[in-house]
DNA sequence: ACCCCGACTGGAAACGTTTCCGATCACGCA
DNA sequence: TGCGTGATCGGAAACGTTTCCAGTCGGGGT
């Protein structure tokens, strides 16, 4: 930068001000500095800038399952608005319990970022403490973290939409395939989505039959297993509500293999509106995933600019009826 | 750090050496310094460290399609080995042509990283120039970039495995659904995978029928369209080779909807071994995606530690036969 | 007993910005 | 004409490390 200043015939102080768009710099001076910088193809050193300035211009994004569509899409949305704002994204993938422990213990992002975004995972109390010890802004998206400014869907509402749809079709024996995160043994299956099932059945005056609920680790293969278990019941359901589309895909696979017709012999509904759902002709409750990412990004931006953005933002879900649901066979 | 040094009763120079594991520090001294650091829960300032040291400890990862399984999985693998090595991952998603132009023009990663990893995308000549002007190491993974140390599969070999499988089943009319990247209009469909098709047919003494090749933008829906087009031929193929599993899923959807049986009426083979392929019972050529990411990471690590790692690494693919292929109906 | 050497440590100069604090200067107003 | 005022700019002190360059000190070889 000294070179630039010299070439523009100003002091470093002025050069710095001109380059970072400070007020109180004469237009002509600024022009000269910018021209000089251009000619020397000068690029500011972020390290030095941050050292002197205080902020890092970076945001840590913590994500538990990078290769799953939901998380990757969330990240996609988030990254796009952060990039727009010239913030860099530091990616931390905490795949399994070990990674997770390590991340919260060592806090590799400490001192490296201005904020942390937690994508689609609950944060335990001890973890929250560690996170807060970093002294930066924290935002959550796509999960059920109420302790921070967050963006998320209403899982209860989503589940209700799915189950009510089946009830409206006059199904009376409805199974649920609940999915737990395989890498976090401690956590229960998505509580909102489970509760919605029980509440909707109760509201319809239907008896609760624990045998109709199967809980499996998340994933397509598990969904297939779960469906097999439901089929082996003395009196199988006529419809199945899966916690997510991927799980539903597994269920469909089992049904096909068993020679059952969808929706003739069994209706299936999922949650997510995974891109593959359209191809699988799956009725599902759509949630705007990418938008949750962008909304979280904007939330973070306003936080960084000093706003006192309090609570969270709940985005709407909507039922998408396709060919996998129909009234039960008489 | 001054505090730590004082508390340990040493100079800052020594404290720095102790903390960064330099040789020539007495064991006892190091112990004292580390203890002091621990007590003060001291965390080094990366900015200052980088400023003085020269390296950044960061790696830029450029990826064109974050939410697609293939890229996300590649990234997953890469991130895991970089994290292991205590390198931070700076994520740059260049979704469309605009993003791309912007990235290579502004080079937002300049001066911020020690290396760049390009995931699954070809790099044009002009872009290569810009990239190299950053003066850092460059590694490619999952794509067909020969100009840099890379990790990738042999697309020709993969295509050959797929088409040969169909030929071995005695198919004589084999269609191909070629996929082009929708965000990069200039680039052709994967050349290796296309060439393999033509070569395999020629080797089997079959005539080339341009009508049997349909080129569509990448994606499931496009795959469905492409299949519809193939079905509308006067003499449709008895088997289809799709450039990727996702495209094959679309094709399957169309076939189902048309009431055709798989593999009875039509065999389908893809490339990738997408997690959903197992559920869709799709015969495919599996490629080790995550491993390509980790291999690229290790390649980069060795480069950063000064090795003269020349060319690239080609990882093997293997045919996975499932239920979507069978001999043609007589 | 003397010298050389290597292990260890300290002082201080970078590294490249931002920003505080004055200094200068032109200008409008009394 | 004298003076307050605000815009503009320069000097220099941070920011928190790493590392070069000496300097000290104990010990082994002769």
Q: How far is CA B21 from CA B14, B15, B24, in A?
A: 11, 10, 9
Nearest to B111 among A43, A276, A280 (CB): A43
Pick the closest to residue A294 from A90, A85, A134 (CA basis). A85
Q: What is the pLDDT of residue A144?
A: 67
Helix (H, G, I), strand (E, B) or coil at A230: helix
Q: Cα-flanking dihedrals φ and ψ of residue A297, to 5°?
A: -60, -45
Chosen for mutation from B91, B101, B220, B261 (greatest number of chain A CBs closer than 10 Å) is: B91
Instruction: Evaluate if residue A308 carries a pLDDT over 80.
Output: no
Q: What is the pLDDT of residue B144?
A: 67
Whether nucleic acid strand C comes within 7 Å of the CB of A144, the answer is: no
Whether nucleic acid strand C comes within 7 Å of the CB of B10, the answer is: yes
Euclidean distance between CA atoms B105 and A99, whole angstroms: 36
The percent of residues above 70 in pLDDT, for chain A, comes to 98
Q: Which fold has domain A55-153+289-315?
A: Rossmann fold (3.40.50)
Which of the 23-82 residues on chain B come under 7 Å of nucleic strand D at their beta carbon?
Answer: 42-45, 47-49, 51-54
Nearest to A67 among B76, B279, B281 (CB): B76
Q: Which residues numbered 49-68 in A keep a CB inside 8 Å of some CB on B?
A: 50-51, 56, 58, 61, 66-68
Q: How confident is the model at residue A316 (pLDDT cuts 50, 70, 90)?
A: very high
pLDDT in tens, chain B (330 residues): 889 999 999 999 999 999 988 888 898 999 999 999 999 989 999 999 999 988 899 999 999 999 999 999 999 999 999 999 999 999 999 988 899 999 999 999 999 999 999 999 888 889 999 999 998 999 999 986 678 899 999 999 999 999 999 999 999 999 999 999 888 777 888 999 999 999 999 999 999 999 999 999 999 999 999 999 999 999 999 999 999 999 999 999 999 999 999 999 999 999 999 999 999 999 999 999 999 999 999 999 999 987 777 678 999 999 999 999 999 986
Which of the 285-324 residues on chain B come under 7 Å of nucleic strand C at their beta carbon?
Answer: none
Pick the closest to residue B280 from B255, B249, B258 (CA basis). B249
> Exposure string (b/e) for B61-73, b if CB count within 10 Å is 16 or more?
bbbbbbbbbbbbb
Euclidean distance between CA atoms A154 and B316, whole angstroms: 45
Whether nucleic acid strand D comes within 7 Å of the CB of A43, the answer is: no
Q: How far is CA B209 from CA A26, B156, B213, B240, in A?
A: 69, 20, 8, 13
Nearest to A111 among B45, B72, B83 (CB): B45
Nearest to B91 among A48, A79, A253 (CB): A79
CATH of B155-288, one of 1.10.357.10, 1.10.1130.10, 3.40.50.2300, 3.40.50.300: 3.40.50.2300
The domain segmentation of chain B, as residue ranges, is 2-44, 55-153+289-315, 155-288
Instruction: Evaluate if residue A309 carries a pLDDT over 80.
Output: no
Euclidean distance between CA atoms A2 and A11, whole angstroms: 8
Chosen for mutation from B43, B47, B90 (greatest number of chain A CBs closer than 10 Å) is: B47
Instruction: Evaluate if residue A326 carries a pLDDT over 90.
Output: yes
Residue lying closest to nucleotide D15, CA to C1':
A52
Q: Which residues numbered 270-309 in A keep a CB inside 8 Å of some CB on B?
A: 275-276, 278-281, 290
Euclidean distance between CA atoms B330 and B310, whole angstroms: 52
Which architecture does CATH list for B2-44?
Orthogonal Bundle (1.10)
Pick the closest to residue B142 from B152, B133, B134 (CA basis). B152
Fold agreement (B2-44, B155-288): no
Paired with B217 in beta bridges are: B180
Residue of chain A nearest B222, judged by CA positions: A279
Interface contacts (A, B; CB < 8 Å):
126
Q: What is the pLDDT of residue A146?
A: 75
Euclidean distance between CA atoms B74 and B36, whole angstroms: 41
**Segment A19-41, tens digit of pLDDT:** 988 888 898 999 999 999 999 99
Pick the closest to residue B180 from B169, B171, B189 (CA basis). B189
Instruction: Evaluate if residue A276 carries a pLDDT over 80.
Output: yes
Name chain A contacts of B112, Cβ cutoff 8 Å.
46, 88
Q: How confident is the model at residue A207 (pLDDT cuts 50, 70, 90)?
A: very high
Q: What is the pLDDT of residue B286?
A: 98
Domain spanning A155-287: CATH superfamily? Response regulator (3.40.50.2300)
- Cβ contact, residue pair A47, B44, below 8 Å: no
Euclidean distance between CA atoms B158 and B270, whole angstroms: 10
**Segment A61-103, tens digit of pLDDT:** 999 999 999 999 999 999 999 999 999 999 999 988 899 999 9
Q: How far is the CA of B12 from the C1' of D18 (A)?
A: 10
User: If you average pLDDT over residues A221-230, what whole number do you get?
Assistant: 97
B90 touches chain A (CB under 8 A): yes
Q: What is the pLDDT of residue A222?
A: 96
Q: Which residues numbered 134-173 in B keep a CB inside 8 Å of some CB on A?
A: none
Nearest to B79 among A56, A66, A110 (CB): A66
- Cβ contact, residue pair A250, B279, below 8 Å: yes
Give every CB contact of residue B135 below 8 A, 6+ residues apart in sequence.
Answer: none
């Amino acid at each position: 930068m000294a070179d630039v200043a010299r070439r523009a015939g100003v002091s470093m102080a002025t050069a710095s001000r001109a380059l970072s768009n400070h007020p109180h710099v004469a237009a002509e001076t600024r022009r000269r500095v910018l021209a000089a910088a251009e000619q020397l193809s000068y690029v500011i050193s972020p390290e030095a800038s941050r050292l002197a300035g205080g902020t890092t211009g970076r945001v840590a994004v913590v994500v538990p399952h990078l290769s799953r569509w939901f998380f990757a899409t969330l990240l996609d949305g988030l990254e796009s608005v952060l990039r727009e704002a010239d913030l860099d994204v530091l990616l931390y993938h905490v795949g399994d319990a070990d990674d997770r422990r390590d991340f919260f213990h060592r806090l590799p992002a400490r001192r490296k970022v201005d904020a942390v975004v937690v994508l689609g995972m609950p944060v335990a109390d001890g973890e929250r403490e560690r996170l807060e010890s970093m002294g930066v802004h924290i935002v959550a998206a796509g999960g059920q973290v109420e302790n921070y400014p967050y963006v998320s869907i209403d899982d209860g509402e989503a589940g209700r939409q799915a189950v009510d749809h089946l009830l409206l079709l006059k199904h009376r024996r409805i199974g649920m395939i609940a999915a737990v995160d395989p890498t976090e043994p401690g956590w229960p299956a998505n509580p909102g989505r489970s509760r919605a099932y029980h509440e909707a059945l109760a509201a319809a005056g239907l008896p609760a039959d624990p045998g109709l609920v199967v809980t499996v680790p998340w994933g397509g293969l598990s969904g297939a297993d779960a469906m097999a278990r439901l089929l082996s019941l003395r009196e199988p359901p006529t419809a199945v509500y899966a916690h997510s589309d991927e799980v539903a895909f597994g269920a469909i696979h089992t049904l096909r293999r068993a020679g059952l017709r969808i929706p003739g012999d069994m209706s299936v509904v999922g949650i997510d509106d995974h891109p593959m759902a359209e191809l699988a002709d799956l009725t599902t409750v759509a949630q705007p995933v990418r938008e949750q990412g962008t909304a979280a990004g904007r939330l973070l931006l306003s936080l960084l600019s000093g706003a006192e953005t309090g609570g969270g933002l709940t985005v709407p879900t909507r039922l998408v009826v396709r060919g996998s649901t129909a009234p039960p066979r008489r």
